[in-house]
Amino acid sequence: MTDENIDANLEDDWGAALSEQAQADSILKGEAASASVFKDLGGQQLEAGTAHDINFILDIPVQLTVELGRTKIAIKNLLQLAQGSVVELNGLAGEPMDVLINGCLIAQGEVVVVNDKFGIRLTDIISPADRIKKLNR
């Protein structure tokens, strides 16, 4: 085979592959257009009452954490910890504890004991505007 024949065969193979790809793309675009699984909400008016209806998110689980305090510790000190060791935290006694939802501060509170179980009484709730400001940082 000459170089011209090889080049012609390569061009034919590439041309065939490109036309197959174009056909596959047009089929996929046609299926995507015909299969409207998701409705486009842009520009449409919501039904009355659905703008404030949050019932569809009420069952989503979130992680609630109450933080007593934090500290940084070197690995060598971490390896020396044993039963009965005391780790100093940055929180002060009597200071309100942080209540976090998925790692985001939403409130502060104080520890309470009810029926031999710990709980937290919320003393200060962060305003929604302040929470949004923290998310934007």
Query: Which stretches does DSSP call E strand in the chain?
Result: 64-67, 97-101, 104-114, 117-125
* Tokens (6 digits) for 129: 């505007």
Which residue is associated with the tokens 């790809």? 21
Q: What is the CA radius of gyration of the chain?
A: 30
- Note if the pTM is more than 0.95: no
Q: Give the tens place of pLDDT for each residue, 72-97.
A: 999 999 999 999 999 998 888 888 99
* Tokens (6 digits) for 114: 């009810």
Q: How far apart are the first and last CA of the chain?
A: 65
Q: Give the tens place of pLDDT for each residue, 40-83.
A: 555 555 555 555 677 888 889 999 999 888 899 999 999 999 99
Total Cβ atoms within 10 A of residue 106: 19
Please report, rounded to a whole number, the percentage of residues in the chain having pLDDT higher than 70. Answer: 65
